[in-house]
């Protein structure tokens, strides 16, 4: 009998493009199919619920908050067949090896996260995960300036675009960020 090979699915794009909604949709389908699902999220993401992934639209799914990729390994149940990891850009580089290890063991791994930081540059381990995935879904939001498809996340400080040398990681939602297209995205000092 041949070994079951899993897969890696990455859901990516700017903030407000529906990444978490799409992840939750896939997780609900897996649950309906009676697959054992486990969801993990970075503990630093405290925007909504501590122990749930929550979309900006209000959809939610139970999740285990983690501080490192090793926490996923420690909390993974033996009978799990689907692993979802939200906001993967915030997780240490060990996430790449772990995701591939899980897929090689036959698990379906769904990874959600920003592909670009507020500067418009590759974010965390997401570029590697995207390149190694069997399936990549890049979603688009609506540009808050012109209404075109948005592929960037604009950070705002007092209503103005954040400067290039500002910290990369500041967790927030619509009070700090908005979706922008390439043309409307601004990074002073870049």
Overall number of domains in the chain: 1
38 within a domain of the structure (yes/no): yes
Q: Could you give the percent of the chain with pLDDT greater than 90?
A: 78
Q: How far apart are CA 75 and CA 57, in angstroms?
A: 28
Residue 160 lies in a domain: no
**Pick from 54-63, 117-126, 131-140, 171-180: least confident:** 171-180
pLDDT given for residue 10 in this prediction:
98
- Is the pLDDT at 1 greater than 50? The verdict is no
pLDDT at 59: 81
Mean of all residue pLDDT scores within the chain: 92
CATH number at residue 114: 3.40.50.300
Domain-located, residue 127? yes
Q: Which domain holds residue 105?
A: 7-139
Give yes or no for residue 167 having a pLDDT over 90. Answer: no
- Is 50 exceeded by the pLDDT of residue 144? yes
Active site residue 49: no
Q: Quick one: which H or E segment has residue 113?
A: strand 108-114
Q: How much is the average pLDDT of 61-66?
A: 92
Catalytic residue from among 87, 121, 175, 183: 87
Q: Is residue 182 part of a domain?
A: no
- 157 within a domain of the structure (yes/no): no
């Amino acid at each position: 009998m041949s070994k079951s090979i899993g897969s890696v699915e990455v859901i990516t794009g700017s903030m407000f493009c529906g990444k978490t909604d799409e992840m939750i949709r896939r997780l609900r389908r897996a649950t309906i199919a009676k697959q054992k699902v486990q969801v993990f999220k970075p503990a630093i993401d405290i925007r909504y619920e501590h122990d749930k992934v929550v979309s900006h639209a209000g959809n939610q799914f139970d999740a285990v908050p983690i501080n490192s990729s090793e926490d996923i390994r420690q909390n993974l149940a033996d009978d799990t067949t689907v692993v979802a990891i939200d906001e993967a850009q915030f997780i240490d580089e060990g996430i790449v090896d772990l995701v591939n290890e899980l897929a090689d063991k036959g698990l379906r791994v769904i990874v959600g996260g920003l592909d670009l930081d507020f500067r418009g540059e590759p974010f965390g381990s997401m570029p590697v995960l995207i390149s190694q995935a069997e399936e990549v879904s890049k979603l688009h939001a609506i540009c808050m300036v012109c209404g075109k498809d948005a592929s960037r996340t604009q950070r705002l400080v007092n209503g103005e675009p954040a400067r290039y040398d500002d910290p990369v990681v500041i967790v927030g939602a619509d009070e700090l960020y908005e979706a922008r297209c390439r043309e409307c995205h601004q990074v002073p000092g870049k």
